[in-house]
Amino acid sequence: MTKLPILLLLLLCLSSFTAGEIKKLKIRSDNRPMILFERFGFTHTGQTSISVSSVSVISTVTSPDASRLGFFLLSEESLIQVLIELQQNPNFCVLESNYIQRLFTFRDLSPPPNSSFDRAYPVTSPNEYSLFFANCAPESKVSMDVRTELYNLDGRVKDYLSAGLTQLPTLYFLFFLAYFVFLGVWVFVCLKNKKSVHRIHGLMALLVIMKALNLLFAAEDKHYVKVTGTAHGWDVLFYIFQSIRVVLLFTVIVLIGTGWSFLKPFLQEREKKVLMIVIPLQVLANVASVVIGETGPFIKDWVTWKQVFLIVDIICCCAIIFPIVWSIRSLRETSKTDGKAARNLAKLTLFRQFYIVVIGYLYFTRIVVFALRTISAYKYQWVAYSAEEIVSLAFYMVMFYMFRPVEKNEYFVLDDEEEEAAALALRDEEFEL
């Protein structure tokens, strides 16, 4: 049990997730001293229902004490106290702590061969709790079938979403409507400027469609989980359209960064290589996202999948910046020789602004949103999701406005003085990346 404090702390810190669906899982020959099942925000009407069956414990030493194996709830406020107890006495069993809410131990199981237990527990103190299984018996392996239900009661109706996430179905549906309106505006702009529409504008429209459908299926997924405890297949559609949307988003950013279709009709070899790297990595990231979302820390490789997702996402975020940087450098070099200073200055300014917008979007959605989810009280977790969707919508609007189809001929009818001023500005241009 000497590794228990480190394991407990890592699980709580690394597992920035909150679930509430009805979970069914099979544990086979597991010797982990601590298994985290899920975290959930309870109100004053919270309930925890646990059913275990087909329980067996195999020990290589002595017959294990059944009271040293069991389930308990732990709040983050009590974590420090439990860690202190474990540090003071490495052989201390967490099930004996006064800072946990012990649910039951294997001593409460029905006699073999059934060896089962089924009971619901009210949560008397509203808070965010983590549901754990503890195995304080050394050298023992546990096998069992587990079914958990964590929910809050709204009158007589069960709400399977955590107290801070119960607003998500409405939130996602409202943003679906916002993107639907946005799509209508984009189609209108493209039809109004048909002569200036390029292939990239069609991909951008497809991106908005995928984003809107992704939000619609996310709303349905969360609604059914909230009402019934299971997604009823909506999670499959959600993950499919999320995968398509993410791959398409990174592809559109890369293609815009290269100037494809509106500055040049082809991609260079290095730009093709970026796409060949980003797209497969995003597929891998989406697979990791499905594993993370549909399982939990109770599987042994959950933390590994989460690390894979984070590493791949960071690599992709860095990779999509390179085409924008290459375009900026190319425009800077071209401006010295082609005699079109004003046009090049406008393009260079546009790509500089796009570079800053992309960096800001990636920084907010990867770092600021994570910080919001970490520091927000469990009742206000929906605020972080709202902030993420608001920033995403703002990013889409800015990106689409910057690269909208417009007639540019009249804009670039400039006199000699304006051309000389633009040439002077380009000579003084410095842009540190």
Cβ neighbours of 63 (radius 10 Å) = 9
Exposure of 131 in the CB half-sphere (CA atoms within 13 A)? 27
- The DSSP letter of residue 25 is E
For the chain, the helix, strand and coil percentages under 3-state DSSP, each to the nearest 5: 60, 20, 25
- ∠ Cα 48 49 52 (to 5°): 135
Query: For domain 22-159, which architecture applies?
Result: Sandwich (2.60)
Per-residue pLDDT, 82: 86
What are the pLDDT digits (tens) for 347-377? 778 888 899 999 999 999 989 998 998 888 8
Closest CA to 355 of 388, 326, 330: 326
Residue for token pair 């919270």: 46
Q: Do domains 22-159 and 167-413 have the same CATH topology?
A: no
Per-residue pLDDT, 5: 43
Question: What confidence category does residue 413 fall into, taking pLDDT thresholds of 50, 70 and 90?
Answer: very low
Q: Is residue 285 within 8 Å of 312, Cβ to Cβ?
A: yes
Q: Is residue 23 within 8 Å of 37, Cβ to Cβ?
A: yes
| Average confidence (pLDDT) over 147-166 | 92
What are the pLDDT digits (tens) for 216-261? 999 999 999 999 999 888 999 999 999 999 999 999 999 998 888 7
Token pair in block for residue 180: 């639907």
Average pLDDT, the chain: 85
What are the pLDDT digits (tens) for 1-16? 445 544 544 455 445 5
Whether the predicted pLDDT of 69 surpasses 50: yes
Which amino acid is it at 357?
Answer: V
Exposure of 167 in the CB half-sphere (CA atoms within 13 A)? 13
Whether the predicted pLDDT of 411 surpasses 50: no
Per-residue pLDDT, 110: 84
What are the pLDDT digits (tens) for 193-224? 988 888 999 999 999 999 999 999 999 999 99
Structure-model confidence comparison of residues 102 and 139, the more confident one: 102
Q: Which helix (H) or strand (E) holds 36?
A: strand 34-42
Question: What confidence category does residue 335 fall into, taking pLDDT thresholds of 50, 70 and 90?
Answer: low
- ∠ Cα 417 418 422 (to 5°): 120
Per-residue pLDDT, 9: 44
Per-residue pLDDT, 20: 61
Helices (H), 168-301: 168-192, 199-228, 234-258, 269-294
**Integer CA distances (angstroms), 276 to 54, 236, 263, 313, in order:** 48, 26, 21, 15
Question: What confidence category does residue 32 fall into, taking pLDDT thresholds of 50, 70 and 90?
Answer: confident
Q: Where are the domains of the chain?
A: 22-159, 167-413
Q: Is residue 431 within 8 Å of 328, Cβ to Cβ?
A: yes
Q: What is the CA radius of gyration of the chain?
A: 27
Which CATH number applies to 167-413? 1.20.1070
Per-residue pLDDT, 328: 80
Per-residue pLDDT, 266: 74
What are the pLDDT digits (tens) for 258-301? 888 776 777 888 888 988 999 899 999 988 888 888 877 777 78
Per-residue pLDDT, 419: 47
Phi, psi of 5 (to 5 degrees): -60, -45
What are the pLDDT digits (tens) for 92-126? 889 999 999 999 999 999 887 678 899 999 998 99
Per-residue pLDDT, 341: 57
Token pair in block for residue 28: 């086979």
Per-residue pLDDT, 298: 77
Token pair in block for residue 230: 């299971």
Q: How many helices (H) and strands (E) does the chain have?
A: 12, 9
What are the pLDDT digits (tens) for 304-317? 888 889 899 999 98
